[in-house]
Structure 1
Amino acid sequence: MRISRRNFIKASAAAGAIAAVGCGVSGNALAPAKGEKKIGEAPGKWISTSCQGCTTWDPIQIFVQDGRAVKVRGNPNSKSNHGTCCPRAHLTLQQVYDPDRVKVPMKRTNPKKGRGVDPQFVPISWDEALNTIADKMMELRNNGEAHKYMLNRGRYTHMNVLIYDAMTKIYGSPNNISHSSICAEAEKSGSFFTEGLWDYRDYDMVNTKFMLIWGLDPLSSNRQVPYTIKMFGDILDRAKVVVVDPKMNASSAKAHDWLPVIPGEDGALAVAMAHVILTEGLWYKEFVGDFSDGVNRFKMGETVAEDTFKEIQTNGVVKWWNIELKDKTPEWAEKLCGVPASKIYQTARDMAKAAPNVAVWLGPGAAMHVRGTYSAMSVHALSGLMGSSDNIGGSLAGMKVLGNGLQKLDGYLDETAKKKNKKIDQRGTLAFPAMASGKPGSGVITNNLPDAIMAKKPYDIKMGLGYMNNFPFSGTGAQRWEKMFAENEIFYVHLTTHASELTMFADIVLPAAQTTTEKWAYLKNKGGQFGYSTILQPVIKPVWDVKADETEIPFLLAKKFAERGFTNLLDFYMNEFKDVETGKAPADEKEFTVNAVKYYTQPAWANADPAQGDVIGSWEKFKEVGVWNSASYKFKGRWGKYKTVTQKFEFYSETLKKALNEHAANNKVDVDKVLEVCNYEARGEKAFVPHYESPFRYGSMEEYPFTFVDHKSRLNKEGRSANCTWYMEFKKVDAGDASWEDVLKMNPADAQKLGIADGGMAKISSVSGTFLTKVRYWEGIRPGTVAKAYGQGHWAYGKVASKKFGKEAYTFNNNELIPADYDRLTGATARNGGLCGVKIEKA
């Protein structure tokens, strides 16, 4: 008898015969128990909490009946998502009741590590697990090697300060390493080095008259997805929408125009649009300024005297023209980016007609390149020309969200904790400026950890603790992570809801509470012209023997440290987290957790000033409503006060110039040398303006003639939903994809030339390796490019996601195909921009 993967998984789920690592469970967790009423037939209650399906962190509510979570909706009290949520939020129900979850603490009994190697985990008690971890950590500390411990943070809540910051620093390690540069950071450089905003942007969808979506699909991924879904129909009626992306996505399928740019050539397209805007006198003069005599001197190929132009809210528009733009015509760009010159002219002109009500929505596809900082700056600079930065209908920063910050740690740091040790990720070295917020060495270079640790530069690492992370799957050049763990003696602790690839290299595994449904925390963000603070709270009793990763576990470790003579961390937790209402010190980890959430959110729920936002009145009311909303956005509040060196929107970036000069001085070289080592093309003054840099590519066009495009699914709930049957069943909601498959989308003309049928198998090869894949014809992919959604290819993530748990995947992980490299100015992992050349062959 033959049985398909789809039917096998459905049968397995129905039977409930799915085993987790070390433990099994039977029964369908979502079905009503015997004798109970069906969903909707019994009384229930909507309980407020938050989704972590993307970094919007939407306020949601979950309907609970008989102690079970049965339904999800957006929180109607939210002014940012207006009671809406996207498909990711609904996957929460399958995630929390997934029988493949880790259920009890476990320890490794097989010292050998590697893919396909059985860790031979055995269940242990929480006490044994915590004692083992505390012993290892205190041994390092007592040996003067506290800095050889690292904390690896994946997705997080704002309670992360208790484990990521406080615990790591008080213990004495500099190595609190975030995941953030794996999935972002480069796009922040576009707004920071032009307008001083090191952050994601909000967009005024209510008033925009032209939306230019660049390198993302806001209906599926990135940020503010629920609100965008709600607003998109109205936007299409009111505004012109143009999408720049090499593949057709949900947004471009609905948009008025789609510009299928050649991957990596975003900068060429952007500077050509800027050229049109300036030569045709279309810039927004109330923001940028004008020539003193009103005569436009921006003529193709001609240099302009700087003293003839009087700027208002901007800096260096004439320098930018002279250094970069004067020769960058649409005809020049067409040959590089593949977008017809006529379309470039039309888009620039239509956008200018709508100014300043223009939303230039910059996404990672236009930024996470090896030379991505300059692509990001080039795209975001269009917001400056349109006068749409911080303006009605344009791109926005965010309103202040009331809350307390992390308390001062100075009084809890002993001599070990005060030692100055370099971070393990090599930030601040010549090859890794990592200039978050313009400060050299302040960014994170997460995906460089395997190389740095294997090279033992600046030193070796002996112990790590990671939570909500799975770097051997999520980092490009994923094979390096496996090699690092297999060949280096790193005692690793993994706090996780599900056993994953990283878990298989761990020595201790701790079952973590599922964020949305089982733990206390809070999150803060912005969207729809409002800032917000949103609560996470247990809507059900924990399904298994789990603990909250960011609060309960560090508190329990602090107690273990104290038993071993190191009391500083426990002193901090006990002294600083008394109940803000009663003054009572926490009696245990659960009281500590609630006290901490109350402390950090108190300024919001206790706010009495309507001018700052909601007046909620009490902690109990905050738990009920679930979200505090700020006052609405104040347009033009940053005009003249941008956090740049000039306090203006910088086309000539004095802010980037200062940062690069500082990094060069730190490393005793000049700026040109920095750019050379970091693999940028700019030299001299070009380094300080948005400009075109050619794509950096692995694999020659002769040997690897296609370009691989990695994109995100609207069902990737922070990459943790692949073990959900709902994810597999509804995968077809992504344009060009298929249910229960992980397909390589290929233009039919390309596939047919190679003799590959629709649904046929092919070999795909990059400089990193060769893999088998199923091909699906998709007219919505630019010829010469192929695309596959990130999220599948697990060899360890449950019975739905992996073919043979711990050993074999159904398909390949995109990050095994994509080589590891970086936009080094920010430290961001490069995964777009024409980086990955591939060869396709019929299998």
Structure 2
Amino acid sequence: MATEWIQTSCGMCYVGCGVRVQMEDGIALGIEGDPNHPQNRGNMCAKGKAGLMNLYNPYRVKAPLKRTNPEKGLHVDPGWQEISWAEALDTVGSKLQAIRDNPKQLYIQGWEITGDSHLWLHAFASAFGTPHYSSNGSPTCGKVIHPVEFFAAGGFHQQPDLHYCNYCILVGTQFAIAARASFNHILRDMADARARGMKLVVVDPIGGFAGSKADQWVPIRPGTDTAFALSMLHVLLNELGIYDAEFLKHKSNAPYLVGPKGLYARDPASGKPMVFDAADQKTKVYDDPTLKDPAIIGASEAGRPSFELLKEHVAKYSPEKTEEITTIPAATLRQIAKEFGAAASIGATTVIDGVELPYRPACVDWAKGPQGHKHGFHQCWPLKLLNIVMGAVSVPGGILSTGAAGKKPFQWFPEGGTDGLLEKGGNILPLPHPKAFPGRTPTKPVRNDLAEIFPLAPHFHTLLPLTAEDHERYGLDYGLEVMLHTPTNSLLGSFGDLKVVERFYRSIPFIAGFAVEINETNLFDDIILPFPSYLERFDFNAGPSSRQLGPCGQDDWFWQVRQPVVEPAPGLRHPQEVIMELARRVGILDDFYRLINHTFRLKEPYALQPGRRYGATEVIDRTARCWFGEEHDLKWFQEHGVIRYEKDVEEAYIGPFLQARLPIYLEHFLQRGAELKEVIGQMGLDWDFSDYTPLSEWLPCPSYDAVKKGEYEFIAVHYKLPYVYGSFGNDNPLINELCERNPYAYGVLVNADVAKAKGFADGEEVWLESPVRKVKVKLKLTQCIHPEVVGIAGHFGHWSPGMPIARGKGVNFNSLLPTDLEHIDKISTALDHCVEVRLYK
């Protein structure tokens, strides 16, 4: 038997590692990491190794299906009947055609970022004319980190510079240990950094994978990250006097003068913010060419510097006060702040490739944990401020911004804008992303996701189930009529309370979705379209690591085109071709081509032409040649796998080269809040405006108050497993075996001392009850969890008949979450992900 190895890109999560697949007589026998791929450097995780099981899953959907039972519900049998592709596309096309006069009635759930589908469906949504496109998977995904990065660093996400960092604090994230983009790359960098002596401090309610690798694990009460960060800032700024004054003066809005109403003092002629120049004792605009020494301390007639206001504000959060909120001992907080400030090495420089750069080898990283709260934006922003006041942003050793800049195959770089502040983040693809600065002017909603009254949010899908309950309450005169979705299991992964989500899906008359296997979302479909596995399809974009979430620092930039290793199973079609065919049937194909040309920067002679029909491989070939030259066509990528370019210092460490200031004071929150109050008043809604403030305050989540009042005993939080990605792969037998062998996966974590005091035993089954759901769980007792916390891992709790291996195992965390306006962050639209629960027999 002839053996060959085919290079392609893994699709078991969005990282997109380079892999080699062993083939014999057309059968895939094994998968290995590609040692020449800069993403994973030959490494593979358990998810990737298990990919063959998805390819040969006997429960896969391999032909279009239609629903025969008109009733819909969580546990209703749809009565699937196999149909032809022609009938499936005719049905979907006719439903889309029926709403062409009001295209806003279409909702597309487009999260499928392991390949091209996400970007192609986004282009389809724009060509069709609907704003209702969801580009994120969970109710917290990117809600704060992306907009904050765009206006406070310049990229899409953040990464500690593990090549040079000496002191790294992880808050509510398992970065480089159990999660995050570029995972198989950064985990080696993390191991190397720890081996050379970098101190790792993990602040998290759960001492899980990250905590086990830390030099110091600091358990924190959920939903109190704001207080922790503000207290750290107080110790640094007021007790220790450690901050990068030169950076703050010249690279931030710290010297901008603020008047008594909280707004900038502005030059009457130009409208620009004013600063006080200590060199000649004059008030000037921030970009005056004669400005030498902008003051960040001390009042002038025009106002007070925003940095002075910050110092004064954080003084309210002494470690003793925040100990009562966070349960972190005051001495521990001071110890961390002192070590962090010393490690930042204010004033130090280093030389890389002959270029002298600021050297700040200390940083704070955060992600999902702080984002997922009612006041999620302000749980995160003070954590970012810790890096900014140290000058540790986009410089060696500090916090870096992913995908922010590049010179090949195109040039892209962040840009300044309003008031001299960073406004436009860098992105290799010329795609817009709703920005938190300067935000948008609020208006009465015309969208079902209420985007107009969330003027600082990046995306809005968490509001859809709420408006579906009562359109008139929000001034809407229509609802969603058609939904298209990717194989993502959005019913379990994208929202909260299942009763609310069930009503939402039942409210949409027609739903069509792609499927690899029939998951819980597909149970509401009217038409199912089979989706090829990543080992059966072509994708120009093999995950976002190349374009937005790649390794930071001077690691090579790279791009890989995915190719199939086996012929698609009979009855499968490339999703790009299905999307183009639907566009043709609805009469928007030429507009769709125009948007694909824009998305992928396709210029003549490679641009898609009106009136032409293309196959998926032809589009990918044209794109590859447009980006990388005629010699790097699709065939080249099939033979060589990946193209890579070295990054220079300016691409790797953009901070010193950025022609814009970073914010420490969010004046525009006051402006957008005032505008929103007027709109909300006209609508007659009860609204919480407490987060529209330029300086963060800690405000409690509902679960915090519920436990304090004694109404519930615990706060439940979610944490990630390194071998489970969302609800992908949960029916994979190898991943299931890992979960069954690890009692922390399907089990629920409870503090051992607390559990024993309540008479609970390890492995015992008890009831777990939140305000919206009651479920039977198996306890796993551990000392590595905050005593007030219950820890729930992964994305389990399946019941779909199409997932027989995963069915009935573990807990679906999202289904425990109350889903209403009271639990939505009014800045970011994140759904509160700490929920009060009780345990009992």
TM-score (norm 2): 0.79
Residue-by-residue CA offset, 1:70-97 (whole Å, 9 max, x unaligned): 3333343433433333222222221121
Following the alignment from structure 2 to structure 1, what is the Cα–Cα distance between the partners of residues 336 and 43?
Answer: 32
Following the alignment from structure 2 to structure 1, what is the Cα–Cα distance between the partners of residues 642 and 831?
Answer: 33
Residue-by-residue CA offset, 1:236-255 (whole Å, 9 max, x unaligned): 13211100101012121111
- Alignment partner for residue 323 of structure 2, among 334, 351, 357? 334
Distance 1:574 1:129, change over 3 A: same
Write the letter of the residue equivalent to 1:505. F
Report what 2:56 is aligned to: 97
Write the letter of the residue equivalent to 1:65. E
What's the CA shift for 1:352? 1.5
Write the letter of the residue equivalent to 2:574. A
* 3-state SS of paired residue (2:783): coil
Report what 1:449 is aligned to: 464
- Alignment partner for residue 389 of structure 2, among 378, 385, 389? 385
Following the alignment from structure 2 to structure 1, what is the Cα–Cα distance between the partners of residues 663 and 246?
Answer: 16
Q: Tell whether the 8 Å contact from 1:724 to 1:800 is kept in structure 2 after alignment.
A: no
Report what 1:610 is aligned to: none
What's the CA shift for 1:716? 1.5
* 3-state SS of paired residue (2:528): strand
Q: Tell whether the 8 Å contact from 1:698 to 1:767 is kept in structure 2 after alignment.
A: no
What's the CA shift for 1:227? 1.7
Q: Structure 2: which 5+ residue stretches go unaligned?
A: 251-274, 279-292, 298-304, 345-359, 411-427, 433-443
Residue-by-residue CA offset, 1:242-269 (whole Å, 9 max, x unaligned): 0010101212111110111111111111
The yes-or-no answer on 1:260 pairing with 2:219 is yes
Report what 1:169 is aligned to: 126
- Alignment partner for residue 692 of structure 1, among 677, 694, 698? 698
Q: Tell whether the 8 Å contact from 2:8 to 2:20 is kept in structure 1 after alignment.
A: yes
- Alignment partner for residue 188 of structure 2, among 222, 230, 254? 230
What's the CA shift for 1:839? 0.7
Q: Tell whether the 8 Å contact from 1:520 to 1:536 is kept in structure 2 after alignment.
A: yes
Following the alignment from structure 1 to structure 2, what is the Cα–Cα distance between the partners of residues 203 and 312?
Answer: 30
Mapping 1:589-600, distance limit 5 Å: 591-600=614-623
Distance 1:464 1:625, change over 3 A: same
Distance 1:640 1:311, change over 3 A: farther
- Alignment partner for residue 639 of structure 2, among 624, 629, 636? 624
The yes-or-no answer on 1:51 pairing with 2:4 is no
Q: Pairwise CA RMSD of aligned residues?
A: 3.4
Q: Tell whether the 8 Å contact from 1:737 to 1:745 is kept in structure 2 after alignment.
A: yes
Report what 1:611 is aligned to: none
The yes-or-no answer on 1:60 pairing with 2:49 is no
Mapping 1:399-548, distance limit 5 Å: 399-400=405-406, 402=409, 405=429, 422-429=446-453, 432-433=454-455, 435-436=456-457, 443-456=458-471, 458=476, 459-474=478-493, 475-486=495-506, 488-522=507-541, 523=543, 524-525=547-548, 526-529=550-553, 530=555, 531-548=557-574
What's the CA shift for 1:336? 1.1
Report what 2:831 is aligned to: 829
Distance 1:62 1:747, change over 3 A: same
Following the alignment from structure 2 to structure 1, what is the Cα–Cα distance between the partners of residues 704 and 71?
Answer: 33
Distance 1:493 1:421, change over 3 A: farther
What's the CA shift for 1:560? 3.0
Report what 1:21 is aligned to: none
The yes-or-no answer on 1:205 pairing with 2:196 is no
What's the CA shift for 1:100? 1.3
Write the letter of the residue equivalent to 2:33. G
* 3-state SS of paired residue (2:373): coil
Write the letter of the residue equivalent to 1:480. V
What's the CA shift for 1:289? 5.3
Residue-by-residue CA offset, 1:539-598 (whole Å, 9 max, x unaligned): 22113522233x111122234335xxx765577599999998889979997x53123323
Following the alignment from structure 1 to structure 2, what is the Cα–Cα distance between the partners of residues 662 and 421?
Answer: 14
Distance 1:815 1:179, change over 3 A: same
Following the alignment from structure 1 to structure 2, what is the Cα–Cα distance between the partners of residues 652 and 829?
Answer: 25
What's the CA shift for 1:655? 5.0
* 3-state SS of paired residue (1:165): helix
Following the alignment from structure 1 to structure 2, what is the Cα–Cα distance between the partners of residues 492 and 605?
Answer: 39
Residue-by-residue CA offset, 1:619-670 (whole Å, 9 max, x unaligned): 433333333334325355334746xxxx32222124544554565566578x
Following the alignment from structure 1 to structure 2, what is the Cα–Cα distance between the partners of residues 73 and 792?
Answer: 27
Report what 1:10 is aligned to: none
Write the letter of the residue equivalent to 1:627. V
Distance 1:263 1:286, change over 3 A: same
Mapping 1:774-793, distance limit 5 Å: 774-793=778-797
Distance 1:249 1:516, change over 3 A: farther
Report what 1:29 is aligned to: none
Q: How many residues align?
A: 726
Residue-by-residue CA offset, 1:269-300 (whole Å, 9 max, x unaligned): 1111111111212223442359xxxxxxxxxx
Residue-by-residue CA offset, 1:83-123 (whole Å, 9 max, x unaligned): 33322222222112111111110000110111221110100
Mapping 1:689-768, distance limit 5 Å: 689-697=695-703, 700-701=706-707, 702-731=710-739, 737=744, 742-768=746-772
The yes-or-no answer on 1:243 pairing with 2:258 is no
Q: Structure 1: which 5+ residue stretches go unaligned?
A: 1-35, 37-41, 291-305, 409-419, 437-442, 608-615, 804-808
Residue-by-residue CA offset, 1:740-786 (whole Å, 9 max, x unaligned): xx111111112112211111111111111211111111111111111
Report what 1:325 is aligned to: 314
Distance 1:717 1:181, change over 3 A: closer
Q: Tell whether the 8 Å contact from 1:181 to 1:446 is kept in structure 2 after alignment.
A: no
What's the CA shift for 1:316? 2.9
Following the alignment from structure 1 to structure 2, what is the Cα–Cα distance between the partners of residues 345 and 715?
Answer: 36
Report what 1:354 is aligned to: 343
The yes-or-no answer on 1:369 pairing with 2:369 is no
* 3-state SS of paired residue (1:349): helix
Q: Tell whether the 8 Å contact from 1:189 to 1:373 is kept in structure 2 after alignment.
A: no
Q: Tell whether the 8 Å contact from 2:127 to 2:595 is kept in structure 1 after alignment.
A: no
Report what 2:287 is aligned to: none
Q: Tell whether the 8 Å contact from 1:580 to 1:595 is kept in structure 2 after alignment.
A: no
Q: Tell whether the 8 Å contact from 1:190 to 1:380 is kept in structure 2 after alignment.
A: no
What's the CA shift for 1:183? 3.8
Distance 1:824 1:605, change over 3 A: same
Distance 1:407 1:751, change over 3 A: closer
Q: Tell whether the 8 Å contact from 1:194 to 1:653 is kept in structure 2 after alignment.
A: no
Distance 1:71 1:359, change over 3 A: farther
Write the letter of the residue equivalent to 1:477. D
- Alignment partner for residue 46 of structure 2, among 82, 87, 106? 87
Q: Tell whether the 8 Å contact from 1:533 to 1:601 is kept in structure 2 after alignment.
A: no
Distance 1:800 1:119, change over 3 A: closer
Report what 1:33 is aligned to: none
Write the letter of the residue equivalent to 2:373. H
Following the alignment from structure 2 to structure 1, what is the Cα–Cα distance between the partners of residues 118 and 811?
Answer: 35
Write the letter of the residue equivalent to 1:648. R
Q: Tell whether the 8 Å contact from 2:64 to 2:530 is kept in structure 1 after alignment.
A: yes
What's the CA shift for 1:505? 0.8
The yes-or-no answer on 1:72 pairing with 2:31 is yes
Following the alignment from structure 2 to structure 1, what is the Cα–Cα distance between the partners of residues 535 and 307?
Answer: 47
Q: Tell whether the 8 Å contact from 2:145 to 2:367 is kept in structure 1 after alignment.
A: no
What's the CA shift for 1:342? 1.3
Distance 1:604 1:560, change over 3 A: closer
Following the alignment from structure 1 to structure 2, what is the Cα–Cα distance between the partners of residues 370 and 726?
Answer: 37
Report what 1:555 is aligned to: 580
Residue-by-residue CA offset, 1:772-802 (whole Å, 9 max, x unaligned): 1111111111111111113110111634444
Following the alignment from structure 2 to structure 1, what is the Cα–Cα distance between the partners of residues 593 and 319?
Answer: 64
* 3-state SS of paired residue (1:514): coil
